[in-house]
Structure 1
Amino acid sequence: QAGILDTVLAKLSTYLEKTEALKRKIRSAMFYPAATIAVGFIVTTILLVFVIPQFEDLFKDFGADLPALTRMVVDLSEWFREWWWIALFTVVGGVIGAAQAHRRSARFRDFLDGLVLRVPLIGDIVRKGTVARFARTLSTMFAAGVPLVEAMESVARASGNAVYEKGIRHIRDEVATGGSLNVAMENSHLFAHMVTQMVAIGEESGSVDHMLAKVADFYEDEVDQMVSRMTSLMEPLIMAVLGVIVGGLVVAMYLPIFKLASVF
């Protein structure tokens, strides 16, 4: 319509590249913890199903009371071998049920997305990633000449978070009634003061798209740095947790042997 198809396509290309890069960063941050937890779960399952029963047969020949920790682990192993399908059904059913509820229930989606925003560190990454998507999408559409109120609907759908999606639609309604964009954003309490100030400067100077692009660049860099910090922080934390779990199982199995050795 405006005769600038090449310019708009170039901006759209940049937008898509930036958005995909941001998604890849967040996915890469989640991959290592998820993979490590999965391996830890597999190792724990192998210990409970195959290793601990061997020790249990050995302990029966001792003819003495087992330490409380060992008894608890043996009971857990017996329960897991008999009722493993309940644990599997609970985990799989919980994941599938949560995914379906997130897709079909607006109330559950609002609750879950709001809960994610309150999780330490991860919530910050999600919040800044959402603001970056908001700024990048609105900048691209504004530069392409799409009317602001119309653009806000697309921006809301592209936000990726139910809390921000609802907030952006409130901003759209406020702008549609004659309010300024920066005041509507400030009233939503979803954006940092720096973001609203940048938008206010853009509105005064007639360069909203340029200012939003700067906001998007800033927050994308922030997400990149936070992902790197989180990955380096979570590696030793997850290894410590897995070490406690697996090490606790091993120690529980060797406690009766140590006790027997001390008697002799």
Structure 2
Amino acid sequence: MSNLNTYYYRVLLPHGGVRSGLLRLAVKRDLSARMRLESDTEGTVISLWKFPAWLGAISNVLLHLFRRQVRNEDLAGFLRDLGLMMRAGVPALDALATLVDESNSVGHPAMAAVARNMLDDLNAGVGMTEAFNRHPNVFPETVRNLISIGDQTGTLDKMLSEAAEHVERMINIKRDVKTALIYPAFVFATIIGVAIFWIYYVVPNMARLFKQLQAKLPPITEGLVAFADLLSTHLPWVLLVTAIVVSIGVIAFRRSERFQLATYTLMHRLPIARTLLVSSGMAHITEHLSILVRAGVDMVSSLRVLGRATKNRYYRTRLIHVAESVSRGESMSSSMRRVGGFPAMAVRMISVGEESGSLDQQLSHLAADYRKRLEVLVKSLAEILKPLIILIAGGLFLFLIVALLLPVYDLVRQSVNQSMGR
């Protein structure tokens, strides 16, 4: 297997412009990289320099950390503006040139760079579909499929607008999910921070005071003091082990499909997490399927695209199985019912859509319904979690206060008894 090499290149494009940048390819010879560049750009390679292995590794890390990312909001605006200008009769080249200038003027350099590369490709004779396909990290596969269909059917302006609306709906779904998680995450972080402050600072000071007063500590206080001493003595190691465990968990989640599947499966069994994941996951699935089916993509291809686009491993695994069943001639609804994990209402509506030939409409209705459910869930999640948060916080601080007040109560009682004895 060839190694992945990093090259710096400068290419003279057919219209006279010069493009430069970094390219990563799994090739053995520099000639192969040169031929690939000239084939992709239809230009002439002016210079091609191969990075040493160690420098290539460093550059890849730096590129990943500092590469300017195209925001989804900028992507939606780019698609909408491009579709609007093409619908008004503006040629694609002029429309892209205008968007390059506009993106630079409003401070969106990453989107401007993508538009400039697409403009260079179109000037070099590359088709619109291929120009979009050359940026898979910017344009989702669903968007690229819509562009391909629009390019083939002569409805590119309509598909661009459809893609923009789709991206905006995905933005709203992601924003709703993040909004739902911000409140509980902030509250639990605050509770943990206050608890650590009490255990690390307040409890040791109180323990020293009790020791000076020779107070007799009850078992609950002795246990709390022992835990505080242990935490104070080994705090650096506790933080280090916590950081290592969290890092291992994050790395395992990103690289291990089994770990991802186990995590999502567990979350689908927890009450509140399950409601949130089902609403957001089904909104994502029905939204993508509705767009692809309405655009004319066959069902097997739509399900496979969706399987690659879905980050939720719980649903991704099931969608892959459904796609395999549909490719063998089984209906989507019966496949979903057999595979399991999909809400009964969604499966029933998909079944009705397949029988009546209105599948795209049923999927659109489902997508709108699940987006509405997610919106309502986000608004009500704070109210749902308040009793749980109050119970956890109240129980924790009740334990701390009782553990610290019992010795104080004993000291007061001893002092009163001594005063009465006199």
Structure 2-normalised TM-score? 0.60
| 1:16 CA displacement | 1.6
1 or 2, which has the higher strand percentage? 2
1:60 paired with 2:226, answer no
- In 2, Cα distance between the equivalents of 1:26 and 1:163? 17
Q: How many residue pairs end up in the alignment?
A: 264
Question: Which residue of the partner structure matches residue 159 of structure 1?
Answer: 310
CA offsets 1:58-103 (integer angstroms, 9 cap, x no match): 1112224211111111111111100112321232222221111111
CA separation in 2, counterparts of 1:124 and 1:13?
28
Match for residue 129 of structure 1 among 267, 275, 280: 280
Q: 2:163 aligns with which of 12, 16, 32?
A: 12
Alpha-carbon separation, structure 2, partners of 1:61 and 1:32: 43
Higher percent of residues as helix: 1
Which consecutive residues of structure 1, in runs of 5 or more, have no partner in the other structure?
none
Q: Name the amino acid aligned to 2:319.
A: I
The alignment yields a C-alpha RMSD, in angstroms, of: 1.6
What is the match of residue 362 of structure 2? 211
Q: Which residue identity is paired with 1:138?
A: L
Q: Are residues 1:100 and 2:251 paired?
A: yes
Paired with 1:230 and 1:182, the residues of 2 have a C-alpha distance of 31
Instruction: State the Cα distance separating 1:259 from its structure 2 match.
Output: 1.0
SS at match of 1:254: helix
Once residues 184 and 347 of structure 2 are traced to their aligned partners in structure 1, the CA distance between those partners, rounded to angstroms, is: 34
> Does 1 or 2 have the higher relative contact order (CA < 8 Å, sep 6+)?
1
User: Which one of the candidate residues 171, 177, 181 is aligned to 1:30?
Assistant: 181
Whole-angstrom CA distance in 2 between matches of 1:178 and 1:203 = 13
Tell me the equivalent position of 1:190. 341
393, 400, 413: which is aligned to 1:242?
Answer: 393
Give the C-alpha shift of residue 243 in structure 1.
Answer: 2.5
Distance 2:353 2:164 in 1: 23
Matched residue type, 2:334: V
Query: Which portions of structure 1, spanning 4 or more consecutive aligned residues, are displaced by more than 3 angstroms?
Result: none
Partner of 1:175: 326
SS in 2 for 1:26: helix
Between the aligned partners of 1:120 and 1:210, the Cα distance in structure 2 is 30
Q: Deviation string for 1:30-83 (max 9, x for gaps)?
A: 111111111112111211222222211211122242111111111111111001
What's the secondary structure of 1:138's corresponding residue? helix
CA contact 1:134–1:158 (8 Å) conserved in 2: no
- For 2:238, the equivalent position in structure 1 comes to 87
Aligned to 1:149: 300
Paired AA for residue 246 in structure 1: F
Instruction: Give, in whole Å, the separation in 1 of the partners of 2:194 and 2:340.
Output: 45
What stretches of structure 2 of length at least 5 have no aligned partner? 1-151, 417-422
Q: Distance in 2 between matches of 1:204 and 1:13?
A: 30
Which is higher, the Rg of structure 1 or of structure 2? 2
Equivalents in 2 of 1:182, 1:61: separation in Å?
A: 73
Amino acid of the residue matched to residue 45 of structure 1? I
Paired amino acid for 2:245: G
Q: Distance in 2 between matches of 1:31 and 1:260?
A: 44
Instruction: Please give the alpha-carbon distance, in whole angstroms, between the structure 1 residues aligned to 2:238 and 2:274.
Output: 29
AA in 2 matched with 1:21: N
Percentage of matched positions with identical amino acids: 28
